[in-house]
Structure 1
């Protein structure tokens, strides 16, 4: 299978998934990359050799920490708040939105706007942000 055909298959899977109203998990994207017949991945994927072949590190294993968040540390709550910023950036396709949303430990108007624009319960997410912020 040619590189173009594999790329087309991956693009079609992603588009079909997005059109169905659900997003791909990092595991699904990782599986698509691992099943590709091409072993050259972009540099942003941390790949190292093992005797058994290539080992792919999950992109989701990044540290979940924000030095501005000095309150209650709960990885699940932080992940939900962070997901708002990621989804908002994907919605508007503007890279600076994600950072602005997360700034001050989710204390900006960008975060509140993102929660509202994603049709999520604003009060609930503001309470979670205050808990993580310690305010």
Structure 2
């Protein structure tokens, strides 16, 4: 018996290991994600209280707005001034989030002001 029959499975194993390693390395850790959100919070001009879940929800609205319009400026306009802008409200309306509007505005106010 030769070892030739093992070469193909070993190649597949190495390839799978490389793919898995790449996936693990590209996923931010929980700590890094929190720091990223904290940095985003300040970069957006938010002056209020930091609440990661609020920031994540508002960012998601802007991401969905970008996906809806496929306009590179949509995401940035939506996030401008810590989400406290007319574009954010229009995005929420376009995404049919009228039932959530009061909650979204409350989150914006919490992040925006002290």
Question: Is 1:129 aligned with 2:98?
Answer: no
Match of 2:8 in 1: none
- Max Rg structure: 2
Match of 1:92 in 2: 69
Larger relative helix fraction:
2
Larger relative strand fraction:
1
Task: Give the deviation of 1:57 after TM superposition.
Answer: 1.7
RMSD: 2.6
Gaps of 5+ in 1: 1-35, 41-51
Structure 2 distance, partners of 1:53, 1:131, is: 39
How many residues get paired? 88
Query: Which structure 1 residue ranges, 4+ long, deviate > 2 Å from structure 2?
Result: 52-56, 59-62
Match of 1:119 in 2: 96
Correspondence for 1:66 among 41, 48, 51: 41
Does structure 1 retain, via aligned residues, the 8 Å contact 2:82–2:111? yes
Q: After superposition, give the CA deviation of every residue in 1:67-89 in whole Å (9 maximum; x if it has no partner).
A: 21111111011000000000000
TM-score normalised by the chain length of structure 2: 0.66
Q: Between the two structures, name the one with larger relative contact order (CA 8 Å, sep ≥ 6).
A: 2
Q: After superposition, give the CA deviation of every residue in 1:52-111 in whole Å (9 maximum; x if it has no partner).
A: 954432268370122211111110110000000000000110010000000000011110
TM-score normalised by the chain length of structure 1: 0.56
Structure 2 distance, partners of 1:56, 1:95, is: 27
Gaps of 5+ in 2: 1-14
